[in-house]
């Protein structure tokens, strides 16, 4: 019996959010007196899979069939269900994402499992099994008790601090039965955003709003992002005005992010934008309006002109290097 953690791959490597899920699953395994096993689907670098051991997993089941290279929630859920039965797993962990939610929902139906998405903390298992989850786009929390024999937890980023060790996991070949009906739709082409860092995977994000005054003024923000090794984002009005690419739009109707550090430059802090960033560990707001709503959600605030402050921050970062 083991806690089973489904991980997502990107160009053969395990995504950072999935490694956090591995760390979470390993802690749950300690709490329940079991071990943590990882399930990886598609082509992968073996050394990347072994890295799961550094976050607490003892074993990785790797299904490398070419059919599993492209994300397919139908096939992935079926393979996950087969792995659950093989490992006799009662607790399944996934990182919250579009794919994670889709796979978890389908696997829940197949396994008759209770499912909770948006989990923010480790479960409480004394006298039951209760988890805390984020609701109403992060504006509130609820405690949910799962009474089913099999339990599926979809975990938000920053739910646990992932501490890396030097351990390596054992990688084993997993050969599931693949059903033809799960592959009736196929992936034709894949177009990826041109930015170097994925917003959902980035540890630091520097984001701009209408306070940047126009696309021609974005360079100071880009300079800070480069100095920090950060991804860049923007508010909805900025993407609507085509100042920045639409894949950088962060918010309730855009991408929801949860970096360790989110720096908002010239963003007022409308509730729709806050809904997309409230999972961030630390939020820094730079705005010349001291009454900007974003300051109420910020851990640190700087009142001033972004065009004066950004170059000074960039220089301070470069000096520290």
Integer Cα distance of 117 and 98 in angstroms: 11
Q: Is 286 annotated as a binding residue?
A: no
Question: Hunting for tokens 């009474």 — which residue is that?
Answer: 147
Count Cβ neighbours within 10 Å for each residue of 34-50 and write b for 16 or more, e otherwise.
bbbbbbbbbebeeebbb
Residue spans of beta strands (DSSP E) within the chain: 2-7, 9-10, 13-14, 35-41, 59-63, 91-95, 114-119, 130-135, 140-145, 151-155, 170-173, 204-208, 231-234, 261-265, 282-287, 300-303
**Is 211 flagged in the annotation as binding?**
no
Q: How far is CA 111 from CA 35, 77, 107, in A?
A: 20, 10, 6
Rounded Cα–Cα distance for residues 6 and 40 (Å): 6
CA distance 76 to 109: 13
- 150 labeled part of a ligand binding site: no
User: Could you give the count of Cα atoms lying within 13 Å of 11 in the half-sphere of its Cβ?
Assistant: 3
Give the integer Cα–Cα distance in Å for 126 and 189: 48
β pairing state of 231-234 and 59-63 = unpaired
Which neighbouring-strand residues pair with 10? 13
Q: Does 266 appear as a known binding residue?
A: yes
Q: State yes or no: 210 annotated in a binding site.
A: yes
Rounded to whole angstroms, how far apart are CA atoms 153 and 142?
14
- Asked whether residue 279 is marked as a ligand-binding residue, the answer is no
Q: Which residue ranges make up the annotated binding site for FAD?
A: 210, 266-273, 287
As annotated, the binding site includes 210, 266-273, 287
């Amino acid at each position: 019996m083991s806690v089973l953690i489904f991980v997502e791959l990107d160009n053969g490597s395990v995504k950072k959010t999935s490694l956090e899920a591995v760390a979470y699953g390993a802690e749950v395994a300690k709490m329940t007196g079991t071990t943590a096993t990882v399930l990886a689907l598609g082509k992968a670098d073996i050394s990347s899979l072994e890295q799961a051991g550094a976050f607490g997993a003892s074993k990785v089941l790797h299904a490398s069939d070419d059919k599993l290279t492209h994300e397919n929630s139908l096939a992935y859920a079926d393979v996950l269900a087969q792995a659950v039965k093989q490992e006799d797993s009662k607790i399944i962990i996934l990182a919250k994402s579009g794919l994670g939610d889709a796979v978890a929902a389908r696997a829940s139906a197949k396994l008759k499992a209770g499912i909770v998405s948006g989990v923010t903390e480790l479960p409480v298992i004394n006298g039951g099994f209760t988890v805390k989850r984020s609701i109403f786009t992060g504006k509130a929390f609820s405690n949910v008790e799962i009474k089913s024999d099999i339990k599926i937890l979809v975990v938000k980023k920053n739910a646990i601090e992932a501490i890396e060790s030097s351990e390596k996991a054992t990688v084993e070949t997993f050969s599931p039965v693949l059903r033809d009906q799960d592959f009736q739709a196929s992936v034709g082409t894949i177009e990826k955003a041109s930015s170097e860092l994925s917003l959902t995977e980035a540890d630091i994000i520097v984001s701009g709003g209408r306070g940047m005054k126009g696309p021609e003024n974005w360079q100071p923000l880009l300079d800070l992002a480069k100095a920090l090794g950060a991804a860049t984002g923007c508010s909805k009005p900025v993407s609507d005005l085509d100042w920045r690419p639409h894949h950088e739009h962060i918010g309730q109707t855009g991408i929801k992010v949860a970096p360790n550090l989110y720096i908002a430059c010239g963003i007022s802090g409308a509730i729709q934008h806050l809904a997309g960033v409230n999972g961030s560990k630390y939020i820094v707001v730079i705005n010349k309006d001291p009454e900007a709503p974003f300051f109420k959600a910020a851990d640190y605030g700087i009142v001033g002109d972004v065009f004066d402050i950004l170059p000074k921050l960039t220089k301070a970062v470069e000096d520290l290097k």
